[in-house]
Amino acid sequence: MSLNPIRPWRNIERRASRQIRVGKVLVGGDAPISVQTMTNTLTSDAAATIHQIQRCAIAGADIVRVSAPDEDSTRALKEIVRESPVPIVADIHFHYKRAIEAAEAGAACLRINPGNIGDARRVREVVKAAKDHGCSIRIGVNAGSLERHLLDKYGEPCPDAMVESGLDHIKLLQDNDFHEFKISVKASDVFLAAAAYQQLAVATDAPIHLGITEAGGLTSGTVKSAIGLGSLLWFGIGDTIRVSLSADPVEEVKVGFEILKSLGLRTRGVQIISCPSCARQGFDVIKTVEALEKRLEHIKTPMSLSIIGCVVNGPGEALMTDIGFTGGGAGRGMVYLAGKQSHTMSNDRMIDHIVEQVEKKAAEIEAAEAASAAE
């Protein structure tokens, strides 16, 4: 897939994979790379879980996963699925009955390790439930919970062990004529995860779910995930992603989209290009960007905005963005529209004015798209 044919150094060719369906969301093939998160409420508290899912959906989440460790959780799942604006993945670890109950409750996907839920009969029962209720399955291999025989064989979690585990689980599903699955091989170590995913990408054509598990807090986990997921996505690996942070799940969604936007793989909302600020700045760049990020969260239309404190790099950045503001002197700066100088604006009115310009531009784009669709 070429992001820009006249700029070959920006091209990312995605790995070819089969395509599956997670509810209304296509995963793999030529489908957009989807962004997932996971709730951290008690699933049995349906109201709290639904509220969190709705917040994540507003932030852009394509799919949300919820843990289903007990019967109270799977009982609540039916209401959660009914009220959710996005497909729900039920996270199952050991008890095969929870997987069956989740499928019956309407989960769009089951996250399981087939080898952890019991003997061949139990795997068959889970697969039958998935088939009967239109569920896909995610095989979730984790370096921290590899099978004992693989740890004995390899001595420690390693890429070979993780990929072997994944392929063994794939065989369990394929032996039951089930092919609507995706797979992940997560680790908290960036090098281990990246190496495992690279091997997996060659070994199967299944859609791949990317993640650096237990990545850490908001800052450290964001950095770790950006390095791990970003490097794999750059080389075309990955069909759906989840950023794992010890933070509000909404933040996971935001970081996930920022990673994809930085590589040109998804466009959603306003991408702000801003300088770190210095003594040359003609206005308070940091506070301005903080304010604009909050006030432009409601914009879903893809758009670029440059906020640069002075004229050293400001005009050049503004040439490549839809809207720009460059600091000048005497308490005023230059507003750029479509890469061209348009008019000056006082610093104290600049934030309100930029929000107005972005909203106007978004409305124009949406109107043009609607007219095109109607033709």
Query: So where are the chain's domains?
Result: 8-262, 270-374
Q: Is the pLDDT of residue 115 over 70?
A: no
* Least confident among 129-133, 201-205, 209-213, 264-268: 264-268
pTM to 2 decimals? 0.89
Q: Which residues pair with 271 in a beta bridge?
A: 304
The b-or-e profile of 295-330 (16+ CB within 10 A means b, else e) is bbeebebebbbbbbbbbeebbebbeebbbbbbbbee
**pLDDT at residue 8, rounded to an integer:** 61
Q: State how far the Cα of 289 lies from the Cα of 371, in Å rounded to an integer.
A: 33
Q: Is the pLDDT of residue 152 over 70?
A: yes
**pLDDT at residue 5, rounded to an integer:** 46
* Least confident among 33-42, 53-62, 249-258, 363-372: 363-372
**pLDDT at residue 18, rounded to an integer:** 97
**pLDDT at residue 1, rounded to an integer:** 31
**pLDDT at residue 267, rounded to an integer:** 86
| Helix pair angle (190-203, 218-234), 10° resolution | 30
313-324: average pLDDT: 92
Architecture of domain 270-374: 2-Layer Sandwich (3.30)
Whole-number CA gyration radius for the chain: 23
273-277: average pLDDT: 93
Q: Is the dihedral of CA 98, 104, 105, 109 positive or negative?
A: positive
**pLDDT at residue 302, rounded to an integer:** 92
Q: Is the pLDDT of residue 150 over 70?
A: yes
> Each residue of 280-298: pLDDT tens digit?
999 999 999 999 999 999 9
357-374: average pLDDT: 91
Report residue 89: phi and psi, to 5°. Answer: -100, 130
227-251: average pLDDT: 97
CATH topology for 8-262 is TIM Barrel (3.20.20)
**pLDDT at residue 3, rounded to an integer:** 40
